[in-house]
Amino acid sequence: MDVSGEKSLAQFANEIDAYYEHLVALYWQPLKAFVTARLGNPQDAEDIVQEVFIRAYVALERYSVRQRQELKARAWLYKITWNLYYNFVSRSPEQQGLSVALEERQEHIWSESDEENGVNPEEVFEQLERRQELEALVASLPQHYQAVVSLYYFEELSLQEVAEVLNQPLGTVKVYVRRGIQQLRKILQMQVNMVG
């Protein structure tokens, strides 16, 4: 959960443009990665995230300073993003049932600054590969478990935030996370049994 980002946003609540710029700086890349991971098309993801921030700006103009100070911006943006993503997928026949080729994703682009900061490229790519394997497993779950597990584990939203994003009762989200994890364990166990 990004508590420091939420706190830093609150200090800009008096000035809508500064608040918005900070909001974009904090959340543009995570939201784009979130949508790209589901669509596999960075251009469509860029378009969706751009629309998210247009809608966010229009809404923020109507919010009072106090509302902006108290806004849980991260969950709010993920909710807008989820709704726009869902609308895009439901309107676009070629997107329905799309399974993203993991090798086409670019989760992390290696830079020299990473090396200067003592980041080991082998470790980074190993972590990326494990995450991609997990995402592929999550993509094999039934649709209603995929979103909940992905938002909770990969996007690190709280259970309450996931419930708000998906307009689901908190109890349902808790059950879906638990059942989704149980199904993932079964899938992993079957894979181990097949190999062993």
Residues 69 and 128 in one domain: no
Q: What distance lies between CA 55 and its chain's CA centroid?
A: 18
Q: Give domain status of residue 48, yes or no.
A: yes
181 residue type, one letter: I
Residues 143 and 59: their CA atoms lie apart, in Å, by 30
Residues 89 and 17 in one domain: yes
Residues 39 and 75 in one domain: yes
The residue written with tokens 């993932």 in the block is 184
Residues 156 and 175: their CA atoms lie apart, in Å, by 17
Residues 24 and 78 in one domain: yes
Q: What is the pLDDT of residues 73-128, one digit of tens each?
A: 999 999 999 989 988 988 875 544 443 333 333 334 444 444 455 555 566 556 66
**Which CATH number does the domain housing residue 24 bear?**
1.10.1740.10
Instruction: Look at the chain and report how many structural domains it folds into.
Output: 2
The residue written with tokens 């991609």 in the block is 132
Reduce the DSSP state of residue 196 to 3 states and report it. coil
Whole domain around residue 54: which residue ranges? 1-96
Q: Give domain status of residue 114, yes or no.
A: no
Say if CB 70 and CB 129 are below 8 A apart.
Answer: no
Residues 131 and 90 in one domain: no
Q: What is the pLDDT of residues 165-183, one digit of tens each?
A: 889 999 999 999 999 999 9
Q: Give domain status of residue 174, yes or no.
A: yes
pTM of this prediction?
0.68
Q: Give domain status of residue 105, yes or no.
A: no
Whole-number pLDDT of residue 104: 36
Residues 5 and 90 in one domain: yes
**Which CATH number does the domain housing residue 126 bear?**
1.10.10.10
